[in-house]
Structure 1
Amino acid sequence: MTTTHLLYLHGFRSSPQSLKAQQMAAHVAAHHPQVHWWCPQLPPSPRAAAQLLLAGTADWPQATTAVIGSSLGGFYASWFAQQRGCASVLLNPAVFPARDLEKHIGAQTAWHDPEVQFFFRPEYIAELQALDTRALPPAGPELAFIAKGDEVLDWREMTARYPAAQIVLQEGGDHALSDFATHIEHICRFLALA
Structure 2
Amino acid sequence: MTGVIVYLHGFKSSPHSFKAQLIAQTLEQNGGDWRYICPQLPLSPQESVDLVSNAIRDCQRDRLTIIGSSLGGYYAHWLAEQHACKAVLLNPVIDPWQIKILDDIPDRSDLRVCEWLDFRERYEGELKAIRVKNITNPSRYLLLAAKGDELLDWRLMQSHYHGAHQVIVDGGDHGLSDFGLYLEKVLSFCGIGKQYAG
Under TM normalisation by the shorter chain, which class is it?
A: 0.7 to 0.9
Question: Comparing both structures, which one devotes a greater share of its residues to strand?
Answer: 1
The DSSP-based 3-state class of the residue aligned with 1:78 is helix
Aligned residue in 1 for 2:125: 126
CA distance in 2, matches of 1:139, 1:165: 4
Unaligned runs of 5+ in 2: 104-109, 113-117, 194-198
Partner letter of residue 168 of structure 2?
L
Aligned residue in 2 for 1:113: none
The DSSP-based 3-state class of the residue aligned with 2:23 is helix
1:96 is displaced (CA, Å) by 0.9
Residues 127/187 of structure 1: CA separation in 2 closer, same or farther (3 Å cut): same
CA distance in 1, matches of 2:26, 2:161: 26
Cα deviations across residues 149-179 of structure 1 (Å, max 9, x unaligned)?
A: 0001001111011002111111111001111
Aligned-residue RMSD, C-alpha:
2.3
User: How many corresponding residue pairs?
Assistant: 181
CA distance in 1, matches of 2:59, 2:138: 17
Aligned residue in 1 for 2:17: 18
CA distance in 2, matches of 1:109, 1:60: 38
Residues 23/72 of structure 1: CA separation in 2 closer, same or farther (3 Å cut): same
Partner letter of residue 28 of structure 1?
L
Of structures 1 and 2, the one scoring higher in RCO (CA 8 A, sep 6+) is: 1
Partner letter of residue 173 of structure 1?
G
Aligned residue in 1 for 2:177: 178
CA distance in 1, matches of 2:186, 2:120: 34
Q: After the TM superposition, list the runs of 4 or more consecutive aligned residues in structure 1 that deviate by more than 4 angstroms.
A: none
CA distance in 2, matches of 1:65, 1:185: 17
Partner letter of residue 179 of structure 1?
D
1:182 is displaced (CA, Å) by 1.0
CA distance in 2, matches of 1:121, 1:139: 28
1:50-129 equivalences under 5 Å are 50-100=49-99, 120=119, 122-129=121-128
Cα deviations across residues 50-69 of structure 1 (Å, max 9, x unaligned)?
A: 11011111121222111100
Whether the aligned pair in 1 keeps the contact of 2:135 and 2:161 (CA below 8 Å) is: no
Aligned residue in 2 for 1:115: none
Aligned residue in 2 for 1:48: 47
Aligned residue in 1 for 2:150: 151
Aligned residue in 2 for 1:116: none
The DSSP-based 3-state class of the residue aligned with 1:122 is helix
